[in-house]
Amino acid sequence: MEKIDVRGMSCPQPVLMTKKAIENRPEGIDILVDNNTAKNNITRFLKNLGYKLEFKNEEDGTLIVVRK
């Protein structure tokens, strides 16, 4: 499973990195994000593609677990 870290990045960079990761691993990825704007944009993008998401609060940010 691939894990990407988009903490500290402003949009659209987190969404672009998510798109690239999904192209490489369409079955799913883990995304570590630290701000609500990026989290919301990534969530919207992935839900539109039909992915199922799970959110886990980590000490250093929110982990979005993405599965097809």
Structure tokens at 46: 């992935």
Contacts of 37 (CB under 8 A, 6+ apart): 10, 11
Selected catalytic residue, list 11, 53, 63, 65: 11
Q: How far apart are CA 7 and CA 27, in angstroms?
A: 22
Residue 11 annotated in active site: yes
Query: Which are the catalytic amino acids?
Result: 11
